[in-house]
Structure 1
Amino acid sequence: MEATKKLNGKAVGKWLSNNAIIMMMLAITLIVGIIHPNFFSGTNMINLFKNVSIRYIIALGISGCLITTGNDLSAGRLAGFAACLACIFAQTEGASGKFYPNMPTLSTPVVFILVIAICAIVGLCNGLVVSYLKVQPFIATLGMQQVVYGICLVYTGGTPIGSLNKNFTSLASNTIIGVPVLIWIALVVAACFWFLYNKTRHGKYMYAIGGNEAAAEVAGVNVHATKIRIYILASCMFGLAGCLLAAKSGGASVNTAMGYELDAIAACTIGGVSTTGGVGTVPGVLVGVLVFELMKVALQFMNVNSSYTYIVQGLVIIVAVAIDIRKYLAKK
């Protein structure tokens, strides 16, 4: 009996240690909610979950890269570029300052397909550079981040794009059974990722590469093809998120989604996706994104200056990665 108690106590202590940052951030959120009752109001929670939905899709895209010990720092800029493209394609016909005056307003499904297809090409480039040129993912995607931002600047001229078709922007306001469409889309994407990660050969290959790439290759895993698929899928998610962000904001500019990749990486790490590879779950990523967004909203309710918010977010990222490395070293 004593051994069981010790074992349970040790297990609880280990769990609390591994999830300390989540518990701390939830405690802060609860305190803010008690001090400011409006924090847990229906309107605030709906807005929170809408923001979480978009960022969750980006985080899911990055999660595959992290699980294979990679990364994708082009996420934010690519989502911003996707938002700009979506706005251009979804502008109302005859609107003042229309980017392409003679182009008819495209239907919402066509806008999504075009934008995601363009983003997939960027993901293909990332995958090829990482797989065949053996460039570190951090460097490859950092370079792509600048390339995408430069293309967006040249293409749009740095001009904000608005006057969007109501059918497109209604995605952000419409509901199904009382639940915003944005949340339904995120749930569908999450279900697809859960199936992909847990029930397909691609998912098994991905975790095998993250655990030991050399051993996976010896076992017959096509490492190059798997990595290329991962980066293409990630970019498709950034494209989808960019479209949803454009619909929610009602417009876009070159600075849309700037820095989203860092939030996504932090959320993944908080949610249990290991930067050392081979570990990560779809529900865990959701927990990470939700907790991270709750913390940011809590800071706003506490009237913390936005400049200090960046400092807090940076510290959270450092602590999350430090805890992840600690867990990795403890296993060795």
Structure 2
Amino acid sequence: MLNLRDEPVKAGTRFVRGEDKRGAVRLQRDTVGTIGVYVVCVLALFFSKFINPEFGSVHQLQTILTLASFLIVISYGQGLTVLIGGLDLSIPSVVTVGGILAAAWMSTLSPAGFWWQIPAVLVVCASIGVLNGLGVTLLRIPPFIMTLASGIIVYSICLGATGGTLSGSAPNSLSRLMTGRVGGVPMVNLFVVLFCATAVFVQSRTSFGQRLYAMGSNAAAAKIAGMRTNVITVCTYALSSAFAGFAGMMLVGYSNGATLRMGESYLLPSVAAVVIGGSSILGGRGTFVGTIGGAILLTIFDMVITSLGLAQGWRTMISGGLILAAILLQHDGALDWIRSTARRRA
């Protein structure tokens, strides 16, 4: 019989099974991993100065945070699905939906109508996630297959509805958000800081976040404990799609237009940022603080690749390599092996 005492007992990466001592070890590993991501970010900025002296300046840091803002928002939704042991491969198509609606629909509205229209666009995007969640929970379709199929269907609908030609421009309010400044600081940087603070609080300090960790760590125990796991799953995929759609709106405000492939470059990086940040691909462990670091690190690498004039394929290769390295380091014996090797050489 399932022992409910083995289920997680606290929000965040503290959700572990077994004795308190093992929990402390897991907490220490997660903390070290999160700190390690930011240490690598600092080192990457330092060595990148040899490529471009502008790296590391205040202006360059603002640019990095601006470019990372899209991936941070998308990765938060992706991280929530990974936290419950799922995956959202429909993100590129949902980003496109958000961008298309922002450019072709919202740009025709008056400033007064703009603000109530934002939730309307997010509801349209979230409905795609609801369908994903229902397919995973009711039809028992694996998340990989369900979200991949829905992404293809949504993209096909966008292609058919637009005929491959998109019209419209960015609404003034979105343009101000992405390109405006407040006291010399980009407005989008202030937005990202506020978004990250809110997201960290929701994921680690609310009952909803606790339920996500519980489901990812032990779904059967969570269900026996009375949690409505199907509802939580549907809500999680809906949130993932809503954040992807909002990132599409941000992209329109930044580039003043939408394209049918505007979300394609964010699928693998969204998974990479989550895994590099210390989240377990099997669910139940990870923090958004680490995911933020992963997104910033990938953005730095992308800017270095651009500075060197290398092909964009290098970004994909680096993302894949970092995912593999992060997964290997998450193995229970990986850190112990690294410590023992370091001690022998010392």
RMSD: 2.8
1:295 to partner: Cα distance: 1.4
Cα 1:54/1:14, change in 2 over 3 Å: closer
1:328 positional shift: 8.1
Q: CA deviation at 1:232?
A: 1.0
Distance change in 2, residues 1:106/1:17 (3 Å): closer
User: For residues 30 and 201 of structure 2, what CA distance do their matches in structure 1 show?
Assistant: 29
Separation in 1, partners of 2:135, 2:314: 37
The residue number in structure 2 matching 1:44 is 60
Letter in 1 for 2:78: I
2:86 equivalent to 1:86: no
> Match for 1:78: what amino acid?
V
1:161 touches 1:253 (CA, 8 Å); kept in 2?
A: no
2:232: which partner in 1?
226
Q: Note the C-alpha offset of 1:18.
A: 8.7
Contact 2:129 2:240 in 1 (8 A): yes
Partner of 1:121: 127
Change (3 A) 1:192 1:53: same
Mapped pair 1:31 → 2:50: no
Could you list the per-position Cα deviations for residues 40-64 of structure 1 after superposition, in whole angstroms to 9, with x for gaps in the alignment? 3343322211111121010001111
CA contact (8 A) 2:83 2:286 kept: yes
Give, in whole Å, the separation in 2 of the partners of 1:71 and 1:174.
34
Which of 143, 150, 156 is the matching residue for 1:150?
156
Matched residue type, 1:109: W
Partner of 2:339: none
Q: 1:72 aligns with which of 88, 91, 111?
A: 88
Cα gap change, 1:12/1:195 in structure 2, threshold over 3 Å: closer, same or farther?
A: closer
Q: Which consecutive aligned stretches of 4+ in structure 1 deviate over 6 angstroms post-superposition?
A: 11-22, 103-106, 328-331
Return the offset for 1:105: 7.9
TM-score relative to the length of structure 1: 0.84
Q: Distance in 1 between matches of 2:265 and 2:245?
A: 15
Could you tell me which residue of structure 2 aligns to residue 282 of structure 1? Answer: 288
Alpha-carbon contact 2:137-2:233 (below 8 Å) kept: yes
Identity, % of aligned positions: 27
Partner amino acid for 1:269? V
Q: Is the 8 A contact 1:182 1:244 kept in 2?
A: no
Q: 1:328 to 1:228 in 2, by over 3 A?
A: farther
1:14/1:256 CA distance change after superposition, 3 Å: closer
Q: Deviations over 1:116-139 (max 9, x none)?
A: 010111111111111111111111
In structure 1, the residue matched to 2:192 is 186
- Identify the match of residue 213 of structure 1 among 209, 219, 225: 219
Amino acid of the residue matched to residue 146 of structure 2? Answer: A
Deviation at 1:300, TM superposition (A): 1.9
SS of equivalent residue, structure 1 residue 310: helix
Whether 1:272 aligns to 2:288 is no
> Partners of 2:149 and 2:200 in 1: how far apart?
30
CA contact (8 A) 1:126 1:144 kept: yes
CA distance in 2, matches of 1:263, 1:286: 12
User: Where does residue 96 of structure 1 map in the other structure?
Assistant: none
What stretches of structure 1 of length at least 5 have no aligned partner? 1-10, 93-102
Stretch of structure 1 that moved more, 135-144 or 173-182 = 173-182
Cα distance between partner residues in 1 of 2:132 and 2:29: 41
**Deviating more after overlay: 158-167 vs 56-65:** 158-167
Q: Secondary structure at the match of 1:71?
A: coil
Query: TM-score, normalization: structure 2?
Result: 0.81
State how many pairs are aligned.
310
Matched, 1:131 2:137: yes
1:166 Cα offset (Å): 3.0
**Pairwise CA distance, 1:231:** 0.9
Q: CA deviation at 1:329?
A: 8.2
Cα distance 1:328–1:78, how it changes in 2: closer, same or farther (>3 A)?
Answer: farther
In the alignment, the residues of structure 1 paired with residue 176 and residue 327 of structure 2 have an alpha-carbon distance, to the nearest angstrom, of 38
Q: Call closer, same or farther: CA 1:300–1:136 in 2, change over 3 Å.
A: same
In the superposition, relative to structure 1, how do residues 231 and 309 fare at CA in structure 2: closer, same or farther (>3 Å)?
closer
Name the residue aligned to 1:251.
Answer: 257
* Structure-2 separation of matches of 1:287 and 1:120: 26
Does residue 308 of the first structure (1) align with residue 324 of the second (2)?
no
Compute the displacement of 1:32 (Å).
1.7
Secondary structure of residue in 2 paired with 1:305: coil
Contact 1:83 1:245 in 2 (8 A): yes
Q: Which residues in structure 2 correspond to 1:98-109 (within 5 Å)?
A: 107-109=113-115
CA distance in 2, matches of 1:106, 1:143: 37
Pair 217,299 (structure 1): closer, same or farther in 2 beyond 3 Å:
same
Name which of 63, 66, 69 aligns with 2:79.
63
Shift of 1:155: 1.5
Distance 1:74 1:12 in 2: 34
Q: Which residue of structure 1 lines up, in the alignment, with residue 22 of structure 2?
A: none
